Structure 1
Amino acid sequence: MNGRHRTTTAMGLAALCLGIGLGGAAQAQEAAFDLDALIEAARAEPSITVYAVTGKIVGTAEAFTARYGVEATGKKVNEADQIDLLIREFQSDNIVGDLSLAADGGSIIAQLIPEGILTSWVPPDLAANIPEGQQDPLVMAWDPAVWSYSTEVHETCPVSNVWELTEPKWAGKVAMLDPLVKPNYADWFNQLETHHDAAMAEAYRAHFGTEIDVSEESATKQWVRMYAANAPLLGDSTSVTEAIGAVGQAEPFFGITSTAKYRSNASGETAVGICADMQPFSGWLYPGLAMMATKTKSPNAAKLFVHYMMTAEGIEAMAVDGKTSTNSAVSPHPEEASGVAAVMDQLMVYDTSTAADDFDKRQEWQDFWRIHYSR
């Protein structure tokens, strides 16, 4: 049983023993939760360090400290390095990162949680606003990756179906992150095959006018093979976005990129737009998990930071880049540049219940990509 289950179960039982008849465990937990008590407990603990994939965590940690009087330091650490640090710190009993935000979800769910390195906690007073399937482990926010095009060159999106990207017209003209470097893209392939292969098959039928033969190979695998063979341009998130939408290009790339990179539209460096109504999806949502180190000496401070991140104030700096809180009470940021809120229902939602399978099959997908990718 992980820390979150122990905590929430204890709260629920305590509330029921007190005779709080609110019609369910979640309501009982909410009634039993005392935020002021958590703040006081956090103030008595050592300072915490929060790892996150965005540099904005530095300012967020400073704002948290100013609000609650609980010392917190934010450090930008990429997904893979977070996993490495968290494992090493656990093994050495020298915890530096008390809290991890938005690391490699597959590694966390398949390895770090089962091995007792990390644990999840859901703020009881906010749980009713967070979908049940996004609570164990807690998905703090979704990070959208969207099919994108140059709005400077095209009045509307030039692509309506992912299968178009397997045709000669788009050979060498699609940009994306390298699945061998960013394994969450390999996870994306596995999620499509596991949960949405019928949708991929239907998109094939809609585009080519015939049924796809899936007797030997899934529709998703056939798309990945054909797409890889069409030589997409691989790069980091900045170079991919520039290839798609840097101003002044006569023949820009099409591609898929994070909505966080749309902020360069405001400075006039890029003119990037979301390809709405693309079949079967206009992009996908990757989960940003909020995970506590099980050996942290400041569990209450870590919980308080998780609570803060699940509020509009806590997520604000990340929400302006398109990240969407799983707390339904938190509205999209009004100054978010991409407009992704309008197409959220068109994005594939990553299902954390099969994240361990994604992790197990990650190398298979990367090898499959390596074999079929044409440079």
Structure 2
Amino acid sequence: MKANCTRRGIAIATLSAALLAGMASPGPAQEAFDLDALIEAARAEPPITVYDSTGKIVDMAEAFSSTYGLDATGVKVSATAQFEQITREAQSGNVQGDVALITDTPAAVAQLLPRGYVESWLPPDMEDKIPAQFRNPLAITTNANVFAYNTEVHDTCPVTNMWQLTDPEWQGRFAMVDPLTKGTYPDWFNQMETYGDELVAQAYEDYFGEPLVTDQPSATAAWVVALAESGPLVTDGDDAISEAVGVRGQADPFVGLLSSAKFRDNEDQDHALGLCSEMRPWVGWSYTKLGLIASGTDSPNLARLFIHYVLTEDGIMPQMVDGKIPTNSEIAMPDDEPSGIMEVHDLVFGYDSASALEDWDARQDWQDLWLVHLSR
């Protein structure tokens, strides 16, 4: 599943050049950052449009406009569609989306940034607040997918080990988003193989009482194959998983893997979703949402001001209540965040963008492995 080293080296060099060009692009000076000066410069520029994969961006853009007396419009666009739109707009020289808040980090690192379609800009006054692994390219949040169960039927999560999901007992009773339609899932597989394969192997031994023996190239690959062969319910989104797991009145509900944001369904739709805090080796996994600026925007200062805004508590709060964790380390999660993820945050498998290029190159391999072994 590993990427070609020569290809990766070329991509890294190209990416580095693109990022250096982005940091040197027109706008307020890095050495003497002045937020007031940025605001004044933004006032002379046309309105901006911001792409994001959550509808919360509409409220965020409205709040930004109200705060600064400037005009920003938020548009909900899936990560896949963002990639396609950004590419088309850049190639045609007709930029419509000035800012992209995009969750497909590998696509951005492998395709958008090296080609100069977008730029990554870290506000200098935010540098000390953003951990190094989230600075280049700039990530504004980490977004979690977690294992969940029905609290009406079970007092605690009935699954406590990732390999338990491959047991005949759970055949056809586990729900997840289709890895063939959402790239963050095969990226997760590749990240596990790269950074957590020993823990996957240890989890097998903990559950079955003997070491893993497999003809697959890694413990992670063996788990992916076993999970696919167990016939999980695969969906095109988290709504269906929330229903399969959380709807009340079920005799035998699914266990599922879904966005922590869906725990708001407990209040909005009277679901009974509970976080599988006992699951090992991880209760879930996260991916990053990048904050990028279109290189061809007519409003570079206004776009940068928006990036600065979403790194503040007021700016990112609409997404925090859905369990999105800001990369700004000085911002605390709200007490009423519905999933309870912060209580087990150290058990969430985090995304490391250092291998984003390998994730991109391996994505199709993982999807092929899944498809070949998927039991219908």
TM-score, structure 1 normalization: 0.92
Q: Provide the residue aligned with 2:213 in structure 1.
A: 213
Q: Provide the residue aligned with 1:272 in structure 2.
A: 273
Distance 1:93 1:179 in 2: 33
SS in 2 for 1:333: coil
Distance 2:185 2:162 in 1: 15
Q: Provide the residue aligned with 1:231 in structure 2.
A: 231
SS in 1 for 2:196: helix
**Stretch deviating more after TM superposition (326-335 or 87-96):** 326-335
Shift of 1:305: 0.4
Shift of 1:6: 5.3
Shift of 1:285: 0.8
- Could you give the per-residue CA deviations for residues 249-279 of structure 1, whole angstroms, max 9, x where no partner exists? 1110001000111111013531101111311
Q: Provide the residue aligned with 2:9 in structure 1.
A: none
Q: Provide the residue aligned with 1:33 in structure 2.
A: 33
Q: Provide the residue aligned with 1:240 in structure 2.
A: 241
Task: Answer yes or no: is the 8 Å Cα contact 1:2–1:120 preserved in 2.
Answer: no
- Could you give the per-residue CA deviations for residues 288-318 of structure 1, whole angstroms, max 9, x where no partner exists? 1101111111111111101100011000111
CA-atom RMSD in angstroms: 1.7
Matched, 1:260 2:277: no
CA separation of 1:81/1:268 partners in 2, compared to 1, >3 Å: closer, same or farther?
Answer: closer
Shift of 1:247: 1.1
SS in 2 for 1:126: helix
The residue type equivalent to 2:113 in the other structure is I
Q: Provide the residue aligned with 1:295 in structure 2.
A: 296
Q: Provide the residue aligned with 2:13 in structure 1.
A: none
User: What 5-or-longer segments of structure 2 have no aligned partner?
Assistant: 1-15
Shift of 1:280: 1.1
Percentage of pairs with the same residue: 47
Shift of 1:335: 2.3
Distance 1:87 1:157 in 2: 43
SS in 1 for 2:268: coil
Q: Provide the residue aligned with 2:201 in structure 1.
A: 201
Q: Provide the residue aligned with 2:308 in structure 1.
A: 307
Task: Answer yes or no: is the 8 Å Cα contact 1:2–1:119 preserved in 2.
Answer: no
SS in 2 for 1:292: strand
Shift of 1:370: 0.4
Q: Provide the residue aligned with 1:107 in structure 2.
A: 107
Shift of 1:226: 0.4
The residue type equivalent to 2:271 in the other structure is T
Distance 1:4 1:365 in 2: 29
Shift of 1:4: 5.5
Task: Answer yes or no: is the 8 Å Cα contact 1:110–1:356 preserved in 2.
Answer: yes
Q: Provide the residue aligned with 1:62 in structure 2.
A: 62
Q: Provide the residue aligned with 1:169 in structure 2.
A: 169
SS in 2 for 1:239: helix
TM-score, structure 2 normalization: 0.92
Q: Provide the residue aligned with 2:333 in structure 1.
A: 332
Task: Answer yes or no: is the 8 Å Cα contact 2:22–2:120 preserved in 1.
Answer: no
Shift of 1:3: 6.7
The number of residues matched between the two structures is 358
SS in 2 for 1:287: strand
SS in 1 for 2:263: helix
Distance 1:281 1:212 in 2: 18
Q: Provide the residue aligned with 1:21 in structure 2.
A: none
Distance 1:187 1:57 in 2: 25
Shift of 1:334: 2.5
SS in 1 for 2:289: strand
CA separation of 1:2/1:43 partners in 2, compared to 1, >3 Å: closer, same or farther?
Answer: farther
Distance 1:262 1:68 in 2: 32
- Could you give the per-residue CA deviations for residues 44-83 of structure 1, whole angstroms, max 9, x where no partner exists? 1111000000111111101101111221000000111100
User: What 5-or-longer segments of structure 1 have no aligned partner?
Assistant: 16-28
SS in 1 for 2:81: helix
CA separation of 1:220/1:98 partners in 2, compared to 1, >3 Å: closer, same or farther?
Answer: same
Runs of 4+ in 1 over 4 A off after TM superposition: 1-4, 6-11
The residue type equivalent to 1:44 in the other structure is A
Shift of 1:102: 2.4
Shift of 1:216: 5.0
